[in-house]
Amino acid sequence: MSERSKKHISNNRLAFITFAIVYFYIFYILKPSLLLMNTTIAGGDTGSHNYIVYYLREIFPSIHSWSHDWYAGFPFLYFYPPLLYILTVISSYAIPINVAFKLITILGTLLLPISSYLCLRLLKFKDPVPHIGTVFSLSFIFLEDFNIYGGNLPSTLAGEFSYSFSFSLFWIFIAAMKKGIEENKYLFINIAILSLMVLSHPIPVISSILLLPFFLFTPRFNRRFLYIAKVYAIAFVITSFWSLPFLWYLDYTSIMKWWRLIKLSDIFPVSIIPLQILALAGIVYSFLNKDKSISILLFIAVVNLIPYFLLNDSKIWNTRFLPFFTMGSILIAAYFTGNILSKLPAKSQLYLILPIIALTFIVWTDKRLTYIPHWIKWNYEGFEKKASWEEIKPLFDCLKTLPHGRIMWEYRPEYDRFGTPRILESIPLFSKQPTMEGLLIESALNSPFHFINQAETTKTSTHAVQGFSYPEFDFKKGIEHLKLFGVRYFIAYTKEVKDEAEKLLPKLKDIGSFSVYEIQHPQIVIPIGTFKIKKKTKNWLSESIDWYKTGDLSKPIVFIKSNSEAKLFNKAEFNRDIKVMVTRFEKNTIHFHTSAIGIPHMIKISYFPHWKVKGAEGPFLVSPAFMAVIPNSNNVELTFH
């Protein structure tokens, strides 16, 4: 046997030992018995993602549709990457969908040790650097210093599992790209990985674009540029079924502003400062030895600090880029540690030393864990295993028996005892009724107006959409807004809000701590006699928000694109003796009969260009963010294409 073959076998054995130790610990923490339990995953935003999985299975193999279940309707999966939901649905034909979804949510976590190893291996770091990187990746996976920025296990448990998967792919991609560009290989592999990243989460894709100067501004620019262009262009074509509509309709996403958050404790988390010191030593070591091998890792760490420090008042939160700095530092620490170990006189000593290092590192990591094990149990045991399930289930069962109608509910942080504070976002899942609040806030044009309604009807409102000021609690005004939205039911939890509700609304039922009220005579389609016409500009949504907070709700704003549209509205002569009846209200179709031909009608469903109308002119955009049509027939049908 050749020396090369012996070395290859030795490396494989060492990798096997390393992975065995690392994954034994990961699964020890993750508790496979919980993952394989057929219950509905809970916790943070994750609990609300269940609805997306179940709804996708209804429309699969299509991924785009309309949903009436959140925010008065929203375009389903146009503005959130679909890959992990698709994988869940496909897996659900072989195993229970709840189990499939649980396993899919941990894909990124399980992939990171492998991607760390492959990254360092493809970047041609000598042994045992890739093995050390595999071990050190645990420090990022179990990093408890932040739980929403992305990539680490707490962020995954909070609902950022798509980010975690794309983040893990990123490290393989950048290494394979470097090797592919230099050796003119791996073209199709890189296209495939980038395509998976695009369909998983955009932030690692953006980070990979920030890295392009590193690849381009070196010798043989033309050849490098052509290779990179092929990878990104072909990946875009492959993912265009999702990415093209995403880019094309970005103007129809809701406002969402993030303010810059910079914390020294986030940049230098206490739990990994020892590794960051090793990373600094690695930078000095590489400089003294004129070793440029870590330059790409250093570039990743530094270039991602630029948006972290500079992004402000942006649709992208600056903290999303910090995990690349953190993980880059960890891999540089692995470089330095591995190089020190490589100086051992006998390579065979690694078979003893590396497991000792791995086990020691795991013990050190385990001793620093505080909330992760509890959070894993909380999420993966599911809603049904909570002691409070017997309290919330009767509410879902009751709602299921009521006539179909939109539901608004009082938000309270103490709902977390049911599995997540967002438990009632799952009303469509458990009760088959639409609720006003859900995930995918950016996907729904009406989400800012919902959170205004929430502020008026809830003492502990979330103010989830940033970029404008919210009103104070005003239940009476809130009910007027809910009527405008065609909301049929209101769920109260606290005595204070129940007292306010009972002054204005008939109570249907008390269920445990909840009370269900009815907002009478909800209407989804109404004629509008008075309105204001304004030219649609890029600021239309802000104008509509101002109207909603302070204006005359009986006089909505019609946002027109041309004078010809304005003339259609100016011709209308309103007659108050108008009868309108919705005869069909389905997923992608709304049909109504009206006696008022030529009179504008408001359809209280979020505006989106894919809605087409027969028997009327339109649809037009009308405040808050609804649709309006002008019937030229007694029967009008809107269809989402």
Local mean pLDDT, 10-residue blocks, the chain (641 residues):
56 86 96 97 96 97 96 96 98 97 98 98 94 97 94 96 98 97 94 98 96 86 93 97 95 88 95 96 95 95 96 92 98 96 75 89 94 97 96 97 97 96 97 96 94 96 89 96 97 97 96 96 91 92 94 92 84 73 94 93 96 96 97 96 91
Residues 631, 552, single domain; the answer is yes
pLDDT of residue 6: 53
**Where is the domain boundary, 473, 500, 518?**
518
| pLDDT at residue number 345 | 72
The reply to whether 598 and 503 lie within a common domain is: no
pTM value > 0.75: yes
Residue 581 lies in a domain: yes
pLDDT value for 566: 83
User: Do 564 and 599 sit in the same domain of this protein?
Assistant: yes
In a domain, 608, yes or no: yes
Residue 453 shares a structural domain with residue 551? no
Query: By three-state DSSP, how is residue 620 classified?
Result: strand
Tally of structural domains, the chain: 3
Residue 202: phi, psi to the nearest 5?
A: -75, -25
Shortest CA distance to 505 belongs to which of 519, 515, 485, 524?
519
The closest of 173, 224, 227 to 196, measured between CA atoms, is 173
Task: Please tell me the predicted confidence (pLDDT) of residue 257.
Answer: 83
Same domain, 351 and 459: no
Q: Which residue has the tokens 């070591």?
A: 285
User: Are 533 and 633 found together in one domain?
Assistant: yes
- pLDDT given for residue 346 in this prediction: 65
Residue 573: its pLDDT value, please?
Answer: 63
**617 and 532, same domain (yes or no):** yes
Residues 350 and 395 occupy one common structural domain: no
Q: Do 413 and 498 fall into the same domain?
A: yes
Contact at 8 Å (CB) between 291 and 240? no
Q: In this structure, are 438 and 501 located in the same domain? A: yes
First to last CA, the chain: 64
Backbone φ and ψ for 153, nearest 5 degrees, come out as -65, -40
Predicted local confidence at residue 219, as pLDDT = 77
In this predicted structure, what is the pLDDT of residue 5? Answer: 55
Q: What is the reported pLDDT for 569?
A: 82
Q: Which helix (H) or strand (E) holds 626?
A: strand 626-631
The confidence score (pLDDT) of residue 320 equals: 96
Q: How deeply is 413 buried, as exposed, middle or buried, from its count of CB atoms within 10 A (0-12, 13-18, 19+)?
A: exposed
Task: Yes or no: say if 194 and 205 are a contact pair by the CB < 8 Å rule.
Answer: yes
CA-to-CA separations, 197 to 81, 100, 372, in angstroms, rounded: 9, 20, 26
What residues make up the domain containing 208?
3-30+106-250+345-376
Residue 291's CB: how many other CB atoms inside 10 A?
A: 13
Q: Does the N-terminal peptide bond of residue 624 adopt cis geometry, omega within 30 degrees of 0?
A: yes
> Is 82 part of any domain?
no
Q: Does residue 151 lie within any of the structural domains?
A: yes
pLDDT at 515: 98
Residue 227 lies in a domain: yes
Report which residue type is found at 47: G
- Final residue in a domain of this structure, among 319, 354, 376: 376
Same domain, 514 and 413: yes
The last residue of one of the domains, among 518, 546, 567, is 518
Task: Specify whether the CB–CB gap between 582 and 591 falls below 8 A.
Answer: yes
In a domain, 285, yes or no: no
Kindly state the DSSP code that residue 465 receives in the 8-state scheme: S
Q: Are residues 541 and 511 in the same domain?
A: no
In a domain, 589, yes or no: yes
Reading the block at residue 331, the tokens are 């891999």
**Alpha helices by DSSP H, 579-638:** none
Q: How far is CA 242 from CA 25, 317, 340, 413, 628, in A?
A: 37, 23, 47, 35, 28
150 within a domain of the structure (yes/no): yes
